Structure formats: structure tokens, C-alpha cells
């Protein structure tokens, strides 16, 4: 799954750059990041508990390429780093941008997220692990790679600056322990920030 996701994103990058007939802009982005981690517990396929385990705010910063496929349709791949509390991720989104009006766009696309620090989530699971009696090594019970679906909107202030807001819905289960069929951990994100284009 991880290798397939990476291959798909690399293919999208390649096709996008080959097909781009017009402008490609490069720049930087940065802003606020809110990470909200939910822990879901189910028994025999029925949800029995939904715990809003972690809600922390931090920052994200990164680089982007805005590829103009047509006047209204752009593709914007990015590489960003996000940190909130004791959580840290590297994000690789490929956003499809459609201009619904002059300077206003809506966005959607897939995103790979690579965890570099999940301490807050692991700490939140310790009590659950004690109750279940699974004695899991939490350092080894997590997937370091996740796949998200991201939605958002943006506004071009001028040719150089823009603002955007996005919500990332994690599709994969970060927990990979012995009760992964009954326990799921997903870190959804909300970001709001500004971008600057060099050209």
C-alpha cells in the first residue's frame, strides 16, 4: 500500500510536468496547523467508543510548484513540514485547484504523510493498552506513512501572494498492533496560511 501510493504520486508528478504547456510557478508556504487525533474502538464491527484524544496546534512550512494546466485548472504539488505539540509530519500533497471565480479557487487531492514524531499519540494510547491488556510495544505499533484526502480553498491576493485553508482527512489507520481490527488511530489536520510565489 505504501509503495503503491508513492508510485502513484510520482506518476502524477511526472505526467503533470510533461503535460504542462504554460506557466509553472515555484514558491514557499507557511501557516498554522491544527492536528486532531481520533481513537476509534469497535467490537464485532460495531463502534463502541470514539475518543477525541489529541487536539494540538502548531505550524507548517514548505515549498510548492503551481502548474497552470489551463486558465481555470492548476495542479499544485507541495512538500511541507508540520509540527504540533509532540507530533511532527512531512506532507506530500498533490492538490487540484479549480478557479470558480477571479482569484478564488477550490482544492482537492491526495496527500502522503510521513510521521517523524508520534509521541503524543503513543502517550494517549498507553491507558487504552493497559485496559485491553495487550502489552503492545507502542514504539513499533504505528505506521509511519499515512494517506490523506485533502480539501480546501484559496484566494490570490496578487500575483505573488495567496492565502489558503485546508482540511486533511486521514484514510489510513496509524495503529498496527494486535488489535488493529478493533482499534484505529487517525490524525486529521486543518491548516491555514499564506504562500509566496517567486515568479
Q: Which residues contact 104 (CB under 8 A, 6 or more apart)?
A: 153, 154, 155, 156
Greater model confidence, 58 or 115: 58
Query: Computed from CA positions of residues 124, 125, 127, 128, in that sequence, does the dihedral angle turn out positive or negative?
Result: positive
Q: In this predicted model, what pLDDT tens digit does every residue of 40-85 receive, in sequence order?
A: 776 666 666 666 668 899 999 999 999 999 989 999 999 999 999 8
pLDDT of residue 110: 97
In which residue are the cell numbers 503533470 written?
16
pLDDT band, residue 137 (cuts 50/70/90): low
Q: Where are the chain's structural domains?
A: 2-197
Rounded mean pLDDT of 28-48? 81
At 59 the three-state DSSP class reads: strand
pLDDT of residue 20: 47
At 7 the three-state DSSP class reads: helix
**Cell of residue 47, nine digits:** 463502534
Rounded mean pLDDT of 120-143? 62
Bridge partners (DSSP) listed for residue 149: 110, 169
Spelled out in words, what is the top-level CATH class assigned to the domain 2-197?
A: mainly beta
- Burial call 153-190: b when 16+ CB within 10 Å, e when fewer: bbebeeeeebebbbbbebebbbbebeeeebbbbbbebe
Q: What percent of the chain has pLDDT over 70?
A: 68
Q: In this predicted model, what pLDDT tens digit does every residue of 145-178 receive, in sequence order?
A: 889 999 999 999 998 999 999 999 999 887 776 6
* Mean pLDDT for the chain overall: 82
Amino acid at each position: 500500500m505504501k509503495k503503491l501510493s508513492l508510485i502513484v504520486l510520482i506518476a502524477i508528478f511526472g505526467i503533470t510536468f510533461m503535460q504542462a504547456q504554460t506557466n509553472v510557478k515555484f514558491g514557499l508556504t507557511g501557516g498554522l496547523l491544527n492536528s486532531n487525533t481520533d481513537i476509534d474502538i469497535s467490537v464485532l464491527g460495531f463502534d463502541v467508543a470514539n475518543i477525541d484524544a489529541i487536539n494540538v496546534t502548531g505550524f507548517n512550512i514548505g515549498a510548492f510548484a503551481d502548474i497552470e494546466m489551463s486558465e481555470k485548472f492548476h495542479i499544485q504539488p507541495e512538500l511541507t513540514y508540520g509540527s504540533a505539540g509532540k507530533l511532527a509530519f512531512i506532507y506530500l500533497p498533490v492538490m487540484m485547484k479549480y478557479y470558480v471565480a477571479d482569484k478564488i479557487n477550490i482544492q482537492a487531492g491526495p496527500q502522503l504523510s510521513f510521521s517523524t514524531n508520534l509521541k503524543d499519540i503513543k502517550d494517549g494510547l498507553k491507558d487504552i493498552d493497559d485496559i485491553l491488556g495487550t502489552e503492545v510495544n507502542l514504539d513499533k505499533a504505528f505506521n509511519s506513512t499515512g494517506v490523506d484526502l485533502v480539501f480546501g480553498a484559496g484566494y490570490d491576493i496578487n500575483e505573488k501572494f495567496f492565502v489558503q485553508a485546508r482540511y486533511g482527512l486521514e484514510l489510513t489507520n496509524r495503529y498496527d498492533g494486535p488489535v488493529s481490527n478493533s482499534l484505529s488511530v487517525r490524525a486529521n489536520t486543518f491548516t491555514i496560511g499564506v504562500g509566496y510565489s517567486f515568479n
